[in-house]
């Protein structure tokens, strides 16, 4: 049996809590009614703005799809052009390397020839002086 000297709080506490909940919900809904009446015209204006935008998006979407279809083939063309340019650049680099090697060889040959040419020039000066001397001697000067 229950002891009558103890007080059962669960029953009245639950009733007070649910009563407070009902009262607070009523107060909130009463205040929300005013806010809801202000929100409704804003929603109608928003719907009026969204409807034409949705229509425009619906009209533009097929064109976007059509415009994107050529992109893969154009990307392939760009890739092919890039490969051709890379091949041309490699050919130009190879030709430049060959020209540089030829130039180095020709410069080396010229460098090797210069002392010989200098010696021939000296020999020519000596021979010209000899001819001058023999011409003067023959002329009796």
What are the structural domain ranges in the chain?
14-106
Compute the C-alpha angle 68/83/70, nearest 5°: 10
Of 94 and 65, more confident = 94
Note the pLDDT tens digit of each residue in 9-62: 455 556 666 666 666 666 565 565 666 567 777 777 877 877 787 778 778 877
pLDDT score, position 66 = 73
Q: How confident is the model at residue 7 (pLDDT cuts 50, 70, 90)?
A: very low
Cα dihedral 62, 64, 69, 75, rounded to 10, equals: 180
pLDDT value, residue 126: 93
Task: Indicate the pTM of the whole model.
Answer: 0.38
């Amino acid at each position: 049996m229950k002891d009558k000297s103890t007080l059962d709080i669960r029953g009245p506490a639950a009733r007070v809590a649910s009563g407070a909940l009902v009262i607070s919900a009523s107060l909130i809904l009463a205040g929300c009614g005013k806010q809801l009446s202000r929100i409704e015209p804003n929603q109608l204006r928003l719907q009026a703005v969204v409807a034409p935008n949705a229509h425009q998006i619906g009209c533009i979407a097929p064109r976007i799809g059509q415009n994107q279809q050529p992109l893969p083939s154009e990307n392939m063309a760009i890739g092919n052009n890039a490969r051709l340019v890379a091949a041309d650049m490699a050919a130009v680099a190879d030709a430049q390397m060959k020209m540089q090697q030829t130039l180095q060889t020709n410069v080396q040959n010229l460098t090797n020839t210069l002392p010989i040419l200098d010696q021939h020039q000296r020999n020519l000066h000596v021979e010209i002086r000899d001819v001058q001397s023999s011409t003067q001697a023959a002329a009796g000067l």
